Amino acid sequence: MEEYIIVVNGKPQGPYTLNELKDLDIKPGTFIRKPGMDDYKEAHAMPELRELLGFSYQKTAPQYFAAFDQRLLASVIDHFLIFILYSLIILTSYIFIEGKDERIMAFVVPLPAVFLFKLIYGSFAEASKKQATIGKSLLSIKVTNMEGSRISTGISFVRNFSKILSVIPVFFGYLYSFLNKKNQCWHDIAANTLVVKDRLI
């Protein structure tokens, strides 16, 4: 049977069973956590509590945004993993390629494909249920719309291919996140998206 921890006056209490929660003064905004959850959630955000206590889901705009260093590290992780995959494919192709110069060209010429693949992969991954690439998932950050909901694949493609806007002015479009209250880069603004992190108690 699942047990729940609730936060009362800033302090965790419990654990309680689901039936025991009915006898407590649980509000829609009460923070609750159960085994398997990385962080606390408000009661209205948990389907079983909405059913048990008659709450309705309340959409709230995100308030916790991923910092520049988190986003940068996530991107480095993604590019590293893709580069490893690229290198393995190229090394496998060396079975059919002879000559040092030919092998160097075979490695260098397709190299821009790494960045193109990252854009395409990022577009699908950030529009998926996880709303994140592998790098973002490892850092517990994800891409949302301005209300904190999942974005469509079309919006995700707009966001990722708009990164050229952030790169052209000597990467100032990325550094702009330091000047924006929601840590948005130019490509986030272009697509009306946010990169958010989990709320911490």
In tens digits, the chain (201 residues) has pLDDT values of 678 888 888 888 888 888 888 888 888 888 888 887 877 888 887 888 888 788 776 666 677 899 999 999 999 999 999 999 998 988 888 888 888 888 888 788 777 888 889 999 999 999 999 999 999 999 999 999 988 889 999 999 999 999 999 999 999 999 999 999 999 999 999 999 999 997 654
For the chain, the three-class secondary structure string (H helix, E strand, C coil) is CCEEEEEECCEEEEEEEHHHHCCCCCCCCCEEECCCCCCCEEHHHCHHHHHHHCCCCCCCCCCCECCHHHHHHHHHHHHHHHHHHHHHHHHHHCCCCCCHHHHHHHHHCCCHHHHHHHHHHHHHHHCCCCCCCHHHHHCCEEEEECCCCCCCHHHHHHHHHCHHHHHCCCCHHHHHHHHCCCCCCHHHHHHCEEEEECCCC
